Structure 1
Amino acid sequence: MHNELFKLGPVTIYGYGLMIALGILFAYRLVVYRAANRQLELSHIFSLTVWSLVGGFIGAKLLYWITQFHNIVSNPGSLLNLGEGFVVYGGIIGGIVAGFVYCKLKSIRFLQHLDLFVPSIALAQGFGRIGCLLAGCCYGEETHSWFGITFHNSEIAPNGIALVPTQIMESVFSFGLCIILLLLAKRTKKVGLVACVYLIFYSLGRFIIEFYRGDIIRGQVGLLSTSQLIALFIVLGTSLMVFLLQYQNRTTRIHN
């Protein structure tokens, strides 16, 4: 895989950046289309997108710095490199927190808008992992299976060694999850359910794929990677939220 796709004069187009840009573009078009069908105010959709992107960038960077704390202490200058080093879970958490703050400030329904956005988040993640494949980051462990992929010119992944294609696995998983969420959104009127399904399914899928990752830069907490530990907390917290939503709906029906 080659991250440097082509040059336009002095400008180099990188595969990772291009896939991120395409992911944001298609994700935004999807959320705008679905918001228009639900007659939601598009100005809020645009603002929520901007807030979530900024919050996601900050969250992804902060979590990366946390996982790389020891390396940063020995090399503080790495803090100035804002173009590399992100953790997806930090982006998800940061984006959701930023969206929550915006919804509270504008007095609009947070869970309703989160339900709207999560299929687009999964779609963007699918493109993002293609970018990871082109860049060579987030690579898998060595394998002797038929489905292994081998890098030859990567500056990040080991070259000349067959690796588990974790980037492809998560990309396919994310695109599939986007489709599932869109189908679920058409069939349910329960506010918050689509968002909860996204958080649980993505966390479970990510937890499993993490076992096949070979990059040690992710950070480790005991036997689990940082992402696996976060995934467990998200599954537990979201499952509790589903229970509370079900209890609230049941209580409301009884009182009505």
Structure 2
Amino acid sequence: MHNELFKIGPVIIYGYGLMIALGVLLAYRLVVYRATNRKFELPHIFSLTVWGLVGGFAGAKLLYWMTQVPDIMNNPGILLDFSNGFVVYGGIIGGIGAGLVYCRIKKINFLKHLDLFLPSVALAQGFGRIGCLLAGCCYGEETHGWFGITFHNSEIAPNGVKLVPTQIMESMLSFGICLILILLANRAKKNGLVAATYLILYSLGRFIIEFYRGDVIRGQIGFLSTSQFIALMVVLVTGLVVFLSQYQNRLTGKKV
């Protein structure tokens, strides 16, 4: 896999950046299309996109810094590098948090808009992992299986050895979740159901894939990676919230 795809004069087009840009563009087109069909106010959709991107970038960077505290203590210059080092879960948390703040300020329904956006988030993640594949980051552990992939010119992944294709696995997971959420959104009548489904499906998939990751800079909490620990907490908290919501509705006699 090659991250440097081609040059336009002195400008180098990198696969990672191109996939991120393509994912964001297609994700935005999808959310606008679905928002238009569902009579959402498009100015809010644009503003939430910007807030989500800014919050997602900040969250992804902040969580990465939190996993690299010892290295930062030895080399504070890491804090000035804004082109490398991001954690997806930080981006999810930061983006959702920024969206919550915006919805509170504008007094619009947060869960309703979150349900609208999350299929697009999953779509963007799928393209982002293709970018990871081209760049060689987020690579898998060494394997002798038939499904392994081999890098030859990567500056990040080990070259010349067969690795578990964790980037492809997570890309397919994200695209699959996107499709499931769109189908679910056409049937769901309760706000927050699509969001809960995304959080649970992505977290379960990510928890499993993390066992096959080979990069060692992701941080550890006990015997779990940082992302596995967060995934476990997300599943537990989301499941608890859904259970309590259902229980409360039964007590009040509401149908869901």
> Structure 2 length normalisation: TM-score?
0.98
Aligned partner of 2:127 in structure 1 is: 127
What pairs up with 1:201-220 in 2 under 5 angstroms?
Answer: 201-220=201-220
Aligned partner of 1:59 in structure 2 is: 59
Q: Deviations over 1:194-215 (max 9, x none)?
A: 0000000100000000000000
Aligned partner of 1:161 in structure 2 is: 161
SS in structure 2 at match of 1:209: helix
Aligned partner of 1:231 in structure 2 is: 231
2:109 maps to 1:80 = no
Aligned partner of 1:17 in structure 2 is: 17
Aligned partner of 1:32 in structure 2 is: 32
Residues 52 and 144 of structure 1: is their aligned pair in 2 closer, same or farther, counting only changes over 3 Å?
A: same
Aligned partner of 2:138 in structure 1 is: 138
User: How large is the RMSD of aligned CA atoms in angstroms?
Assistant: 1.1
Structure 1 gap segments, 5+ residues each:
none
Query: Offset of 1:250 from its aligned partner?
Result: 3.0
Q: Deviations over 1:218-256 (max 9, x none)?
A: 01111100000000110011111111322343345459x
Query: Offset of 1:10 from its aligned partner?
Result: 1.3
CA distance in structure 2 between the aligned counterparts of 1:223 and 1:78, rounded to whole angstroms: 26
Which residue identity lines up with residue 152 of structure 1 in the other structure?
A: H
What pairs up with 1:174-185 in 2 under 5 angstroms?
Answer: 174-185=174-185
Structure 2 gap segments, 5+ residues each:
none
> Structure 1 length normalisation: TM-score?
0.98
2:78 maps to 1:71 = no
Which residue identity lines up with residue 191 of structure 1 in the other structure?
A: N
CA distance in structure 2 between the aligned counterparts of 1:123 and 1:254, rounded to whole angstroms: 34
2:192 maps to 1:188 = no
SS in structure 2 at match of 1:187: coil
Which residue identity lines up with residue 90 of structure 1 in the other structure?
A: G
Which residue identity lines up with residue 245 of structure 1 in the other structure?
A: S
CA distance in structure 2 between the aligned counterparts of 1:186 and 1:147, rounded to whole angstroms: 35
Percent of aligned pairs with the same amino acid: 77
Which residue identity lines up with residue 52 of structure 1 in the other structure?
A: G
What pairs up with 1:112-123 in 2 under 5 angstroms?
Answer: 112-123=112-123
Which residue identity lines up with residue 218 of structure 2 in the other structure?
A: R
Residues 251 and 45 of structure 1: is their aligned pair in 2 closer, same or farther, counting only changes over 3 Å?
A: farther
CA distance in structure 1 between the aligned counterparts of 2:143 and 2:87, rounded to whole angstroms: 24
Query: Offset of 1:188 from its aligned partner?
Result: 1.2
Aligned partner of 1:91 in structure 2 is: 91
SS in structure 2 at match of 1:97: helix
Which residue identity lines up with residue 35 of structure 1 in the other structure?
A: A
Which residue identity lines up with residue 7 of structure 2 in the other structure?
A: K
CA distance in structure 2 between the aligned counterparts of 1:41 and 1:245, rounded to whole angstroms: 28
CA distance in structure 1 between the aligned counterparts of 2:173 and 2:221, rounded to whole angstroms: 25
Query: Offset of 1:18 from its aligned partner?
Result: 0.3
